[in-house]
């Protein structure tokens, strides 16, 4: 390359370098900075050496540089200056990139915040749906539309109060209480599967059709299972009564959290305002929760409290201020249902509720339910098969379940009634297979009959709401040493039954002059049953008297009643259930105290119900006339 070409190339590079410096710094900034560094006149010079010296002062930011480069050094100096300028450009590019990313991030955050505000506004005005939620909703709708079959229990459930079998008195009591201008709170007691829940569901609609009913057409019926309700001592979550979601807890709305405002959440008692709150299995609720429910029943509202609530805060919404200052309305009628005894309910709550008792279903009523359900299933059933069901359960729901099981078994075995007819038949043999596969046992396996036995008597007991017949037997031997006889009795029978033994022994000595200490006496409650009350006192007396005097007793009759030291029979509880148990055992007669005699026979026309006020009236029901004449009673 010749000198002229080299000079031309240097001029071109220098010109390009000057142009690039101007673009990097900008014209105004370069002029200012070059002026401060005493490089402006040098850069504007027409001599390359002076221009390069000015650029060195500018780029190196060193005004002390004074020696201009020689002509042979131009290329090297330009290369150095280009390197410095490239570094500056790289640094500036990086800074600009970072600034851009920062601005972009800030814009994203700002946009996100604006989007959340927009979503909140859209949610308040037009709902919370989006493509994802709508897709999930459509999927859920398809799942609801697809089902294996309709529940047979649901199909066979009564749809009118008249279809509830065997509970006419209970249904009438329930509806009449709700139809009152001042309907009370109600607790339904009774065994499972007899129609308590169904009656509660249907009662409201029945009452709404009556003139003067306090329930409006749109009165709510809120149903909840008491077994699922638990009292939260922290009071963070209470689906029954309601709770307050404080700002620090998850659950309060974001708009309230940011302002530090607590948000009350209404419970089921407020949802039931103006209608009925039905709590199934209310006996399973915590006593603490029952007590808190009692407070709501008295105040007819739920009071909320929170340390985060500031009544002077102008950011508190009106509805939250109203709930904290006046409480949430909760004026409803409570209907509770339980299979447990009244003692399982808080005494304070129980005292404020009217009681309605649903009775065990009789065998005839169970048969009626079975035949009615079979007709609705287009299923033929032999009368003996229905009688079998009535001997193994006193619950309508279980009876229907057994019928449904038998239906499936009939389908499996492909049994038909006649050629070409597509109606299945449930025979007694088929039902026996179903009972065996479900491990069912007879409700009362006690053997009774038209016979007499010495030292054996049948007593009536009750477990929950189901009556049963108890076998009490006694065996007496002359004591090895007179006056030193021993008495043995079931440890599992309970202390009350043991006390009845000593009462019977004293009464025996008082009436016959026989001292029980002259005998070794062994009493036994067959099956180890627990007798939690004195109602077996009369039966224990008869068993001891029969064993000691060797007098046979009738085995087709049972007795219940507490016996006093004066030989009187005292009133006992659970008499309807006890008579039901006697009916299941096939007994022809039961003897009860006079105080239990009113109206007990209306549901049991096929069993004789006699009353005996004292021992003298009791003995003829169990002893033959000849034995009575031989027995010397004072």
CB 30 within 8 A of CB 21: yes
Distance CA 105, CA 149 (A): 56
Q: Are 604 and 589 in contact (CB under 8 A)?
A: no
Number of CB atoms found within 10 A of residue 330's CB:
24
Of the candidates 535, 546, 588, 589, the residue annotated as catalytic is: 535
Q: Per DSSP, which regions of 312-352 are E strands?
A: 328-329, 333-338
How is residue 461 annotated by DSSP? E
The number of CA neighbours under 13 Å toward the Cβ of 261 is 22
For residues 464 and 443, is the Cβ–Cβ distance under 8 A? Answer: no
177, 196, 368, 578: the active-site residue: 578
Cβ-in-10-Å burial (0-12, 13-18, 19+) of 130 comes to exposed
Using an 8 Å Cβ cutoff, are 462 and 444 in contact?
no
Annotation marks residue 506 as catalytic: no
535 is a catalytic site residue:
yes
d(CA 323, CA 302): 9
The rounded distance, in Å, linking the Cα atoms of 309 and 328 is 16
Report residue 561: phi and psi, to 5°: 150, 140
Beta-bridge partners for 557:
589
Cα 205 from Cα 219, distance rounded (Å): 9
For residue 399, how many other CB atoms are within 10 A of its CB? 25
Residue 356: CB partners within 8 Å, gap ≥ 6? 170, 173, 174, 177, 186, 187, 188, 189
CA 471, 475, 477 angle in degrees (round to 5)?
Answer: 175
Active-site amino acid positions? 535, 578
């Amino acid at each position: 390359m010749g000198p002229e070409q080299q000079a031309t190339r240097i001029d071109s590079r220098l010109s390009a370098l000057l142009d690039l410096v101007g673009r990097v710094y900008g014209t105004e900034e370069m002029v200012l900075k070059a002026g401060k560094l005493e490089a402006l006149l040098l850069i504007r010079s027409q001599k390359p050496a002076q221009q390069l010296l000015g650029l060195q002062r500018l780029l190196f930011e060193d005004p002390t540089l004074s020696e201009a480069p020689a002509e042979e050094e131009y290329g090297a100096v330009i290369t150095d200056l280009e390197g410095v300028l490239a570094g500056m450009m790289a640094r500036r590019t990086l800074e600009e990139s970072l600034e851009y990313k920062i601005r972009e991030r800030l814009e994203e955050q700002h946009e996100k915040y604006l989007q959340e505000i927009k979503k909140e506004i859209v949610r308040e005005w037009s709902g919370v749906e989006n493509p994802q939620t709508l897709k999930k909703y459509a999927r859920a709708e398809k799942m609801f539309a697809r089902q294996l079959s309709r529940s047979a229990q649901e199909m066979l459930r009564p749809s009118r109060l008249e279809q509830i079998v065997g509970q006419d008195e209970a249904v009438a009591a329930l509806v009449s209480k709700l139809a009152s201008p001042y309907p009370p709170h109600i607790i339904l007691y009774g065994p499972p599967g007899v129609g308590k829940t169904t009656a509660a569901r249907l009662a409201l609609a029945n009452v709404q059709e009556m003139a003067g009913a306090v329930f409006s057409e749109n009165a709510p019926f809120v149903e909840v299972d008491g077994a699922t309700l638990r009292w939260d001592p922290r009071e963070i979550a209470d689906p029954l009564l309601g709770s307050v979601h404080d700002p620090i807890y998850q659950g309060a709305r974001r708009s309230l959290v940011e302002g530090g405002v607590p948000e009350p959440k209404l419970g089921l008692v407020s949802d039931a305002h103006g209608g009925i709150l039905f709590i199934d299995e209310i006996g399973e609720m915590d006593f603490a929760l029952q007590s808190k429910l009692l407070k709501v029943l008295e105040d007819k509202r739920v009071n909320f409290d929170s340390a985060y609530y500031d009544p002077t805060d102008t950011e508190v919404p009106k509805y939250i201020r109203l709930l904290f200052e006046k409480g949430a309305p909760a004026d409803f009628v409570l209907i509770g249902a339980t299979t447990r005894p009244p003692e399982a309910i808080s005494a304070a709550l129980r005292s404020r509720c009217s009681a309605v008792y649903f009775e065990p279903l009789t065998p005839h009523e169970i048969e009626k339910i079975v035949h009615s359900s079979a007709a609705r299933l287009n299923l033929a059933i032999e009368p003996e098969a229905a009688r079998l069901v009535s001997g193994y359960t006193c619950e309508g729901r279980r009876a229907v379940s057994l019928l449904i099981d038998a239906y499936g078994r009939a389908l499996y075995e492909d049994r038909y009634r006649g050629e070409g007819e597509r109606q299945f038949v449930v025979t007694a043999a088929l039902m026996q297979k179903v009972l065996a596969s479900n491990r069912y046992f007879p409700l009362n396996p006690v053997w009774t009959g038209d016979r007499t036995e010495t030292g054996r008597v049948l007593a009536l007991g009750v477990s929950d709401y189901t009556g049963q017949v108890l076998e009490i037997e006694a065996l007496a031997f002359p004591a090895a040493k007179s006056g030193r006889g021993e008495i043995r009795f079931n440890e599992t029978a309970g202390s009350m039954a043991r006390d009845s033994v000593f009462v019977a022994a004293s009464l025996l000595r008082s009436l016959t002059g026989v001292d029980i200490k002259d005998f070794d006496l062994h009493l036994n409650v067959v099956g180890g049953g627990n007798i939690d009350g004195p109602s077996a006192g009369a039966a224990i007396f008869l068993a001891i008297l029969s064993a000691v005097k060797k007098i046979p007793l009738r085995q087709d009759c049972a007795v219940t009643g507490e016996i006093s030291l004066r030989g009187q029979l005292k009133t006992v509880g659970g008499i309807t259930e006890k008579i039901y148990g006697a009916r299941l055992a096939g007994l022809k007669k039961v003897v009860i105290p006079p105080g239990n005699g009113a109206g007990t026979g209306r549901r049991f026309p096929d069993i004789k119900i006699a009353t005996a006020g004292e021992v003298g009236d009791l003995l003829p029901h169990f002893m033959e006339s000849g034995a009575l004449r031989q027995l010397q009673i004072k």
